Amino acid sequence: MNLAEGRRADGGPPPTGSLPLRSHSPFAAEAAEGVRQAQALPPDHTQAILEVTKEVAGVLKSSGCPFALVGSVAVYAYGIPVRLQHDTDFVVRREDAEKVTDLLRERGIEVVDPPEDWLVKARKDGEQIDLIFALAGRPVTTELLDRAPTLPVDSVHMPVIEPTDLMTGRLAALSEHHCDYGPLLPVARGLRERVDWDLVRRDTADRPMAAAFLYLLELLDVIPPHDGQAEGGRSDE
């Protein structure tokens, strides 16, 4: 058998049961790594993240510090079907970070200080936790947290970022280096009746990627067309 060509030297088909040659392509290596990472996830990753979310929320409640759930788990809390695969995110005020992280450590939750100065990372039972002080460069304020309604998250009630703030934060985070509209479309469709889109436009008026996404929503008839130039923004942010 001619191994270099992956077939019999006489030109016939390879023997039945022969194994395919291993590819040395970097793309094949990346694909294999993706498969390994997917296999490493627990069978019920969504529930694992929800369990950690509930535990962290309990710690934050006991701290007496204002907070709110954000990110994909907040989207889940609003009844939008999303697959939770990465982490759970909370917003807290920067001045409360030390108190909150001390309480997390007391509960046996590992706290990690990342190089970024706008969040603290933690880990529990293999799940990642982000405590965020700024959303897309904008500091987390008492006003932002006061707007968060209390919702049940897998039977545990906790503050969840208000839908307009949720959408504004997601759009403001878009950039030339990270601009994936795919995950945002079902969120926008699911929240469209609960979002003040004019306010989103004003608060993201300086973000070209956000403006492009809002225009896409208009073309898809998710939101009504907008007339006029977006100006200003929230006075309390």
Mean pLDDT of 82-101: 90
Q: Is the pLDDT of residue 17 over 60?
A: no
Q: What is the pLDDT of residue 34?
A: 52
The stretch 48-56 carries a mean pLDDT of 93
For 40-97, what is the HEC assignment?
Answer: HCCCCHHHHHHHHHHHHHHHHHHHCCCEEEEHHHHHHHCCCCCCCCCEEEEEECHHHH
DSSP character at residue 19: P
Angle at alpha carbon of residue 195, lines to 212 and 84, rounded to 5°: 80
* β-pair partners for 9: none
Helix (H) or strand (E) holding 187: helix 184-191
More confident residue, 40 or 147: 147
Least reliable range by pLDDT among 60-74, 110-124, 201-215, 221-235 = 221-235
SS3 206: coil
Residue 82 above 70 pLDDT?
yes
Is 208:175 a contact under the CB 8 Å cutoff?
no
Mean pLDDT of 47-57: 93
pLDDT score for 231: 47
Whole-model pTM over 0.85: no
